[in-house]
Structure 1
């Protein structure tokens, strides 16, 4: 363990995190938005955050959990009690996604609790390597429209979305315009994809920040659209992209399709703060149970996910 980790001690928030989900009566957390990637790539990502670059809104963004890989896994699994998490990784240029998929398959195979994650980019051969990832057991895809600067409706991706939809594998997509807008961010481009592929299991990262209402509209229109909570409602995000109070009722009503996401380790505050931010919404323990565990457990077919969900309905098939 690093000196930094030792110095934090109880400051990791592990006791608080476990007390949070223990009080809710769930066996842990399911976090659909955590980042693990090859160290050479991660170092560049961290350097970009350190530079307060344009894609992070030009704001100071300290990395709270800047640890070696094994320590980051230990924090999630042992300190926080996260049952299942992802290795959200993404290319920013062609000829990168397939290599990342090879790394992530190996990471999932050697890492208890990690859901085998894959990614993609609009390029020749994308259908081949997405098919290979699905055949290898990929359970979730990551698409980063902002960083990749690509149209999710690119013709090269159209058959790929159909393939992923047919497989029933979720895609966590950063398609909102926060913290900085891109050419293809916002509800329009992905809305056109959903019109062609309404069964695509899209998970909108960051609740679609800052276009929250527009992405709630998409979730109400398409029954397979979900939203993750990554960084939403935190003090950090509320300063620049506050969630509109008038939309809380809609968020509550969609509670069976909202999933916990954290952005660990690339967050400028302790992990517990995301959970506290959700709790202070006042939407009730049933909503919190669903968001922090049951919805993700059901989506990914985790052991014990067949119990009735927090809303009193029998859990459907994964």
Structure 2
């Protein structure tokens, strides 16, 4: 198992310095992963099989990972999980519900899959206080336009509950990734509050178009602008001004713990864009605080 070495105390101090220098009370990270150990271990096995191309930086147990995030000053975070077959989502949601009950700084999270009963368990999760959902079109390899999901998207749109959607084609294209399929979902459900994971990498421009057309479409920063991602999905310089145009709908995301570099690098990459302190304050805290009523 490959693991990037980090000094927790020094990294925590460096991360805290970023938000303290901006006058923030901490960070809100909308794209982090906590899930049952057997599921997370399979995720890590997938990355390990890449032969060192994607080492996992934060491979500690759940308590260690929670302590790290809190040490960084992350005030609120998510427990995003995602099924790859029928019959998984309800079980994952039950686990995530218990996790949030034990850890109130975690935004209660849930997921879904195109299957009979999805509408009912999504509605039940919303009624139980779920704050954010995750849809992973690449791993799930499902069509977001599947009729079994129409009522799911409608339920989430009516409730105003955000859903983090991995619909870009990076790091590996799937049969229903890219801007086309999810753009059609937004056309059918224009009031849906969607957070495009990884800012839609590598189709950044097309997902910026989507955000400009739909006032409830957001972008998260997960892995974008870091040296690792710039090697295979560089963000076009000419698109940077558009990030200021949708400044109130860009949210900090990191993919913690499944990242091949220290957490600090995401913050440094965002600061290095030189889009201004106000923009950075909004991205690291203010936008998510407003979206989730924190």
Task: Kindly indicate whether residue 221 of structure 2 is the aligned counterpart of residue 221 of structure 1.
Answer: no
Distance 1:99 1:222 in 2: 32
1:1-318 alignment runs, 5 A limit: 8-11=7-10, 13-52=11-50, 60-77=53-70, 79-302=71-294
TM superposition shift of 1:112: 3.0
Distance 1:223 1:185 in 2: 22
Per-residue CA shift, 1:50-105, capped at 9, x if unaligned? 002xxxxx87100000000011011111x100010000100010000000000000
Distance 2:74 2:281 in 1: 14
Distance 1:135 1:271 in 2: 33
TM superposition shift of 1:229: 0.1
Q: Is the 8 A contact 2:34 2:80 kept in 1?
A: yes
Give the RMSD, CA atoms, in angstroms: 1.4
Matched residues, number? 292
Q: Is the 8 A contact 2:4 2:57 kept in 1?
A: no
Per-residue CA shift, 1:266-300, capped at 9, x if unaligned? 00000000000000001010000000000000111
Distance 1:131 1:247 in 2: 37
Return closer, same or farther for 1:59/1:256 CA change in 2, 3 Å cut-off.
farther
SS of the residue aligned with 1:157? helix
Q: Is the 8 A contact 2:5 2:57 kept in 1?
A: no
Distance 1:14 1:299 in 2: 26
Distance 1:158 1:5 in 2: 41
TM superposition shift of 1:135: 1.0
After superposing on structure 2, the runs of 4+ consecutive aligned residues of structure 1 that deviate more than 6 Å are 4-7
TM-score, with length taken from structure 2 = 0.97
Distance 1:192 1:290 in 2: 29
Distance 1:59 1:232 in 2: 20
SS of the residue aligned with 2:77? strand
Distance 2:283 2:5 in 1: 31
Return closer, same or farther for 1:236/1:6 CA change in 2, 3 Å cut-off.
closer
Q: Is the 8 A contact 2:15 2:264 kept in 1?
A: yes
Per-residue CA shift, 1:134-173, capped at 9, x if unaligned? 1111000000000000011100000110111100000001
Return closer, same or farther for 1:185/1:74 CA change in 2, 3 Å cut-off.
same
Q: Which residue of 2 aligns with 1:305?
A: none
Unpaired segments ≥5 residues, structure 1 = 53-57, 303-318
